[in-house]
Amino acid sequence: MREEPGARRAGLSREQIGARAVEIADAEGFDAVSMRHVARELDAGTMTLYHYVRNKDELLTLMGDTIMGELLVSDEELSGEWRQNVAKVARATRRAFKRHPWIFEAMGQPVGSGPNGLRHFEQSMAAVRALRVSPRDRLELIGLVDDYVFGFTLREVLQEMYEAEGDPDMTESGLAFFESELGSGEYPHVSKMFRGDIRAGVERLMEEFSGERSNNRRFERGLKALLDGFEANLKKRKRS
């Protein structure tokens, strides 16, 4: 039940709107985020939203910034060691994205240029403050890490969405497709991985690369590799 038409209500705020939209997306999926739905959830008329956002794209941007707010780490957690700091921020980022997997369906809207994006940037800069290199190298490092985390988490989330669709028929037909293609002999290097029983091999591989434990380990190893390589190249350059 809404109030009288024309009534003054405790005015909405952009943050509030963004937060509600995020809740809807979390609960009912990204496609459930329509202007009408968000407005209804806020006990407001649909068109009222348009006094706070220019259009739906801006609402999506708002949602993006809401999430950027979630990947902030409390300042006490940041010590003097840059590697641990970077790792902590990276983990928080992955966690936040995994909490809101639909974020990747909202790509195409700028994410990370809002206020909270700026805060994340500041935090990243703070994380590497003890690293004595040029500002450019600092930027390159945090960009690199962000890119890796983004790519990794995107794949992870898509894979989980795919599995969660729960359509065993789809899984079955996908597996059958895989099996028949593999049998064609066009994929020697892939086939070599599954000596003999293709189906069992694929299932083993899927399992090995999808469990949470396994994903965490791969995430950490990739991050370590990235940081190790970056550090090694730094030292090499300094020496010359």
Partner DNA sequence: CGTTGTCGTCGTACAATGTACGGGCACTCT
Partner DNA sequence: AGAGTGCCCGTACATTGTACGACGACAACG
Q: Does 133 bind a second copy (CB under 8 A)?
A: no
Binding residue for DNA (CB under 7 A) from 1, 8, 80, 188? 8
The token duo for 47 is 């068109």
CB of 61 to a second copy, least distance (A): 11
Alpha-carbon distances of 24 from 20, 61, 239, rounded to whole Å: 6, 15, 54
State the number of CA atoms in the 13 A half-sphere of 128 facing the CB: 26
185 binds DNA (CB under 7 A): no
Q: Under a CB-based contact definition with an 8 Å cutoff, are residues 165 and 101 in contact? A: no
Residues between 102 and 131 with contacts to a second copy, criterion CB under 8 A? 102, 104-105, 107-108, 110-111, 113, 115, 118-119, 121-122, 125-126, 129
Kindly determine how many residues on this chain lie close enough to bind a second copy according to the rule CB under 8 A: 59
Minimum gap (Å) between residue 229 Cβ and a second copy:
3
Binding pattern for the stretch 138-157 against a second copy, x by CB under 8 A and - elsewhere? -xx--xx-xxxxxxx-xx--
Is residue 46 at the binding interface for DNA, with CB under 7 A as the rule? yes
Considering only residues 182-201, where is the footprint of a second copy by CB under 8 A?
186-190, 193
Half-sphere exposure of 7 (CA within 13 A, CB side): 9
Interface of this chain with a second copy, residues 84 to 103, rule: CB under 8 A: 102
